[in-house]
Amino acid sequence: MDDTDTIMSEYYEKHIVSALIGINCDTAKIEDVSNALVDYNNVEDVFLTTGNFDIIIKVKFPEYSSLKDFILNDLSKLEGVNKTETMLVVSTYKERGIKFE
């Protein structure tokens, strides 16, 4: 584990790790990638989007190392995925219509 992994693991030690992941993929593979993503238990939402990403997913994991494993060993190996960008959620103010204090 490198320094970044150690810092991230310590920060998220007692918190579920939530992230939004933007995915760029081959146009011909968008449906295949989307259908594959819905089968992962930790993937909560899958959106086909316009703009900088073809697909945006919301994921939750019990710890940072599981998120990292998903990105490196699952997501990056899906046929058609060209690039990903992961945005970690630092604080949640409202989710699924529920406000948090």
Q: Is 13 helix (H, G, I), strand (E, B) or coil?
A: coil
Give the number of domains in the chain.
1
Find, among 68, 7, 67, the residue nearest to 43 by Cα: 67
Which domain, by its residues, includes 30?
3-90
Q: Could you tell me if 20 and 56 are in contact, meaning their C-beta atoms sit under 8 angstroms apart? A: yes
User: Quick one: pLDDT at residue 15?
Assistant: 76
What does each C-alpha distance from 82 to 36, 76, 79 come to in angstroms?
15, 8, 9
pTM: predicted TM-score of the whole model, two decimal places: 0.86
Q: What is the pLDDT of residue 5?
A: 65
Structural domain contains residue 8: yes
In a domain, 52, yes or no: yes
Please list the alpha-helical segments (H only) found in the chain. 3-11, 30-37, 64-69
Residue 10 falls within a domain, yes or no?
yes
Residue 95 forms part of a structural domain: no
Query: CATH code at 60?
Result: 3.30.70.920
Task: Confirm whether 101 is domain-assigned.
Answer: no
31 lies in some domain:
yes
Question: Is 1 a residue whose pLDDT tops 80?
Answer: no
Give tens-digit pLDDT for 27-56. Answer: 999 999 999 999 999 999 999 999 999 999
